[in-house]
Amino acid sequence: MKRWEQFLESNFYKVWRKLIRRRVAAAGLIVCAVILILVVFGDLISPYDPQQINTIEALQPPSAAHWFGTDEMGRDLFSRVIYGARLTMAVSVVAVAISLAAGTALGLISGYAGGAVDLVISKFIEALSAFPMIMFALTITAILGPGLRNVMIAIGVAYVPAFARIVRGMTLTVREREYIESAVSIGLNRVEILLRYVLPNVSSVIIVQASLAAASAILSEASMSFLGVGVQAPQASWGAMLKAGYNYLSMAPWMSVFPGVAIVLAVLALNFVGDGLRDALDVRLKMD
């Protein structure tokens, strides 16, 4: 009973309650849960092998046998949309993990150290920010070559400045608090202060930024795959499916419609959740 009462009084429960009370955020959570189910149980849900070629049934419109129709090789689009969810979400999660880890580290060090260290890191982040994110990601992919792994790295590096700027701004505020001065006075080193006091107090900002960055990463992956420098055939991501459907837009529009709808729903859901988290955590994303 005490554990239950402690749970009800926990910050996690309070944030969760605020989040689900917002209808838009709750709807976003439902969509995210559906996508997660497709990712985890895709093999059980998918009615066909997503790579199975059947040219006899090529470019078939949606029907009882093929809910989303078939593509130019006769592959079931419903199965490929499910399979594509795995790749698209994998790119989004790994890319955000890369940008979160690198950007948070740079932001913490820059904001807390100050002086010449802050100046060097800030100028480095400004230099990276001078390029549009998608252009920067395309440049990295052009250097490393197309492919799933390189797309993850490219998008992850491209979003590092977004995390670094926000974390730096919050760290500049947190380092002036009295408990930081107390930690310094008892002899804790900088690493201990950053990990035990600064990072926990900027974590809410990082969580919100991560949810918003995940939505942007999905769009970036779709754009890069559509341009032919992202996920390569026969692997199926939603962006790669859009590219394949573009060539058959007039005669088989369903090839583009269903992966396009999947992208829109996923991006909107993550943005709704991010906005809900921002309100529930009472976070203001500071860019200075």
Q: How confident is the model at residue 288 (pLDDT cuts 50, 70, 90)?
A: very low
User: Residue 2 pLDDT more than 70?
Assistant: no
Which of 4-13, 88-97, 184-193 is predicted most confidently?
88-97
Q: What is the pLDDT of residue 33?
A: 92
CA 145 to each of CA 45, 140, 229, 241: distance values in angstroms, whole numbers, following the listed order: 33, 8, 8, 20
Q: What is the pLDDT of residue 193?
A: 83
**228-238: per-residue pLDDT in tens?**
777 777 778 88
Q: What is the pLDDT of residue 281?
A: 73
What span, in angstroms and rounded, lies between the C-alpha atoms of 16 and 200? 18
Residues near 138 by Cβ (< 8 Å), separated by ≥ 6? Answer: 154, 224, 227, 229
% pLDDT > 90, the chain: 24
Report CA 216 to chain centroid distance, whole Å.
Answer: 6
Q: What is the pLDDT of residue 3?
A: 58
Q: Which domain holds residue 185?
A: 1-285
- pTM to 2 decimal places: 0.85
Residue-averaged pLDDT of the chain: 84
Residue (of 169, 197, 164) closest to 182 by Cα position: 197
% pLDDT > 70, the chain: 93
112-121, 233-242, 247-256, range with the lowest pLDDT: 233-242
**170-227: per-residue pLDDT in tens?**
888 888 788 777 877 887 788 888 888 888 888 888 888 898 899 999 988 888 888 8
User: Residue 249 pLDDT more than 50?
Assistant: yes
| CATH number of residue 117's parent domain | 1.10.3720.10
Domain count, the chain: 1
User: Residue 110 pLDDT more than 50?
Assistant: yes
Q: How confident is the model at residue 287 (pLDDT cuts 50, 70, 90)?
A: very low
